[in-house]
A and B are shown apart, each in its own frame.
Chain A
């Protein structure tokens, strides 16, 4: 028992910390982020149930699954095979969903049973002593005061097992376990009884009872489910996964336990504040002074469900302490989100395969993950900003940013989805692991800035709802976009190398969905500009006590200052673009796309410059205007592109305007995020006393600087600057995604399995694909043979006769997932070739429809890319043919092979060799290489390399540059006898 002296010392210590004249914020008037954190925790646990479901599916259906998959792959791959595999995956998805359902239902069942167990353990029974009816009556009064409709039941025991009051129960039937001693003290110390009852009622009112016990219940159930694979492995023959699985499961359960305790401690603080708010601060302080002391050892505090006495007294006296964002808060939120995201993606991919909408899986997962992070980290930052604004204090952002980074890294590494995979998170390139943590860390900073800007309008509101909903919307969208971009880039990096990831920044990122998401953020942030408060008093609902102190004024006088800086930065960017054009001169046809990209990068850099200058000048509120002004600034700068285009006599088309605006907004917003993070993080001396001239000077300087950086970066990111080989793939058509392999991948890649897989792939996938592609190329040649059908007619033909079958072929290829790693690598390359070719045709059609030279230039760019991919595909198919040939099956996969990506069917056991060999037919023939748009010399080299002869026919062509091959006869990928003659149609220019 701690003597009263120590309590007095702690109270004295607390009192010494409290300034005499200070504002006391009403923290409870602002929503708590712990509810979202509880939901994140529950979500993380439930996805662990999904893993258990997938594992069970594998264990129960190992042999039948193998046979079924083999039957699927023996079918016509283009049609029946895809549907067949989709059905198999749907079955797996059902198992995963069942795992989630069992966790959830089990959690609810535990929630129902727990009250009985608690009552049995403590020997609790309703308080029925007739001398204590006044206690029950008092509870009824306090229940009404607390705003609850139904009073909880008071239970107690005569034994020693109940010395601390607590609440439990199920929704609608809550109970408060009250030690008899407190009831007996009610006449001598009525404040203690009131404080205790108010505290427990606060827990009930805020939903803590349901959330805490539900989380505990699901935790019990999932712990049991997670133990099954360990026990089964220990008693079974295959123990290869025990260690890899066990550490992940233990880490998950350990973090769950610590997180539950952390959240409960925060909820205790909030219940204390509610107690003080409903009664008096003094009575609450006296009651809290009788609680358990703070453990001396810091590590012991982490394991307790209650904060120590000194901490509680501190928070009671300084409520703003409870709102301070912590390292632990960021860590737990990011940990569970990144832990659950791969499993959720796995489940969604399996479920969506039937409808062939698997490309939606990552956006959906990113949106959900963003919502969880926005509800937890975003709301935490918003509340901290609001309280800091009321109190005139500040808080450190670094702990929560670091927490988010560490949590994301740990969660991603420890996710059960990657059990059994080689490398951290199943990645071949370990640096890819850092992308999501870095993206989330960077996003956290501007989210904090936006939260501060939105919190700044609170004095104009009668309730916090409008402000925090806007904050949650913006932060959820921001986190979701950051996660989506990071995971997509991670996949591309691992699959195709840095070159492809860099190119995706320009081709994949500026999608309309990304732009629309940016618009959502801008719209949600807009109220912070409209409701800019003057230096009036703080709203009464935000503070305890009167008179309210004045709301601190903004450091910069008006939003117009940022608007002016926006215009200045945009115009400066436009001038730089014009100067670049004047200095560099007109671009060649092939260089048009690079020039367009350079202009866009410069425009985007002006947006980043503005964000940097504005946030550095006024970190407390400028994030919102910066979010709005950065894309606007980029747009102003990008208008120079349209101006140049018109000045040189090109027609002004909708397509040019649309593409310029989309790229400028998307990249301007994307670059503004790290720039704002830098601006909010760095405290420049010059920015401390921000004035309009200083802001404008900073905007100008930053624009010049970032434009220079953009020009350098554009050159660095240009394809071809990477020394090592790469196989870029467009982001919209990622053929493979990380899914659990359960450690069987290495076993699948033995020589015999690779040979069999290669043989089947050549027979059922490659050869049919080549034949169908040859038909498409023939249709293309037939279209080109038509002299001059007109742009519209040609575009229509491209879309119907070329693009439509090409897209079907591409989609069918995407649905195929070979078993072994070497075959998957080759398949990814061939699929990427189809993707690039489809994009080339799409852009070509669009350029004809809209008369847009930029699109034509992009079409050529994709054509070059497609050619590189076809070359790689060609080499890969030849290699597979070697694998599948007896006597050469021991050939190892290429050392330079860039991919080692786990795939959905990594769990598939090796297939039996039942199908007859048919690839040998391909050994007597060769496929005509795709030499379209190649210079004649290159084309002839390629033909000679595969044993073909050629003759040349010159033709006029407006698209293909002079000296390059327009088409061939037979068409590319036509299977012809070795030694055949191929006719090369070489362009003589527009004629």
Chain B
């Protein structure tokens, strides 16, 4: 898989997974998802940089933040892992092929698309690794354990895993 193709594939998969998360956890944010995602892929560091201190004349709200940047950041970590599992086993490593394979590991897309290769579900070890990736990412982003657990369970539920 070439670098550009890999990047495109990764970004598309990240958006797919993040959109799934946002649609389920914060459907209100769908109308701004494209805007946030565009800014995120352009400059992820700035989008994810946390606020510092209080501004005078603010309202003082707490916990009012978009989920979308977090979803995008965590989704990118998960997608990176998923891509690595596919590229290690697949012979045809073109972008579109990998994209289809990974998408078919997402339950929602698996139901809607014809399975080309019928990839194996994630093993228990891989699933556990995904959980670890989500928890670590959430911790880095400063999310609370409660939110991290919610995201973790949600992402796992979106993946095609061994029963």
Residues of A within 8 A of B (CB): 1-2, 118, 122-123, 129, 131-132, 158-168, 177, 179-185, 187-188, 195-196, 199-200, 203, 208-209, 212-213, 216, 260, 264, 267-268, 287, 290-293, 304-307, 309, 312
Contact = CB atoms under 8 A, between A and B. Distances in A.
Contact of A160 (B48, B54, B55): B48
A166 B58 contact: yes
Contacts of B144: 1
A293 B60 CA distance: 9
Central interface residue in A188, A268, A309, by most chain B CB within 10 Å? A268
A290 B69 CA distance: 21
11 contacts: A131-B31, A163-B64, A164-B54, A164-B60, A164-B64, A168-B55, A181-B65, A184-B29, A200-B57, A209-B57, A290-B63
Contacts of B64: 163-164, 179, 181-182, 290
- Chain A CB count within 10 A is highest, among B26, B48, B62, B66, for B66
B61 interface: yes
B39 interface: yes
A213 B35 contact: no
A208 B40 CA distance: 34
B69 A129 contact: no
Contacts of B55: 118, 164, 166, 168, 177, 305
A229 to B, nearest CB: 29
A160 B65 contact: yes
B86 interface: no
Contacts of A165: 58-59, 61
A305 B54 contact: yes
B6 to A, nearest CB: 25
Interface in B14-33: 26, 28-29, 31-32
B36 interface: yes
B151 to A, nearest CB: 14
Contacts, number: 137
Contact of B51 (A161, A264, A305): A161
A158 B66 CA distance: 8
Nearest to B63: A1
A304 B28 contact: no
Given A181-B65, A290-B64, A159 B58 contact: no
A167 B57 contact: yes
A196 B31 contact: no
B146 interface: yes
A274 B31 CA distance: 31
A490 B146 CA distance: 65
A335 B162 CA distance: 72
B89 to A, nearest CB: 36
B12 to A, nearest CB: 19
A290 B51 CA distance: 18
Contacts of B147: 1
Given A160-B69, A163-B51, A200 B63 contact: no
Contacts of A293: 62
Contacts of B88: none
A164 B29 contact: no
Contacts of A122: 51
Contacts of B51: 122, 160-164
Q: Which of A122, A162, A209, A307 has most chain B Cβ within 10 Å?
A: A162
Given A179-B65, A181-B29, A181-B65, A160 B60 contact: no
A185 B63 contact: no
Contacts of B39: 158-159
Contacts of A309: 60
B46 A123 contact: yes
Given A158-B40, A161-B51, A306 B28 contact: no
A670 B23 CA distance: 75
Top 9 A-B pairs ranked by shortest CB distance?
Answer: A166-B58, A306-B60, A291-B60, A184-B28, A166-B55, A158-B36, A159-B47, A158-B39, A164-B58
Given A165-B61, A181-B66, A160 B47 contact: yes
A185 B49 CA distance: 22
Given A164-B51, A292-B60, 6 more contacts: A158-B36, A158-B68, A179-B61, A196-B59, A200-B57, A216-B56
Nearest to A196: B59
Contact of A159 (B56, B59, B61, B69): B69
Contacts of A291: 59-62
B54 A304 contact: yes
B63 A166 contact: no
A122 B62 CA distance: 17
B50 interface: yes
**Interface hub of B29, B49, B64, B65 (most chain A Cβ within 10 A):** B64
Contacts of A129: 31-32, 35
A268 B54 CA distance: 13
Contacts of A123: 46
Contact of A199 (B49, B50, B59, B68): B59
A180 B31 CA distance: 10
Contacts of B57: 166-168, 200, 203, 208-209, 212, 264, 267, 305
Contacts of B49: 159-161
A747 B59 CA distance: 55
Given A123-B46, A180-B66, A164 B28 contact: no
B21 to A, nearest CB: 15
Interface in B128-154: 144, 146-147
Nearest to B31: A131
A719 to B, nearest CB: 57
A159 B48 contact: yes
A147 B63 CA distance: 31
B62 A290 contact: yes
B59 to A, nearest CB: 5
B122 to A, nearest CB: 30
Contacts of B48: 159-160
Contacts of B61: 163-165, 179, 182, 196, 290-292
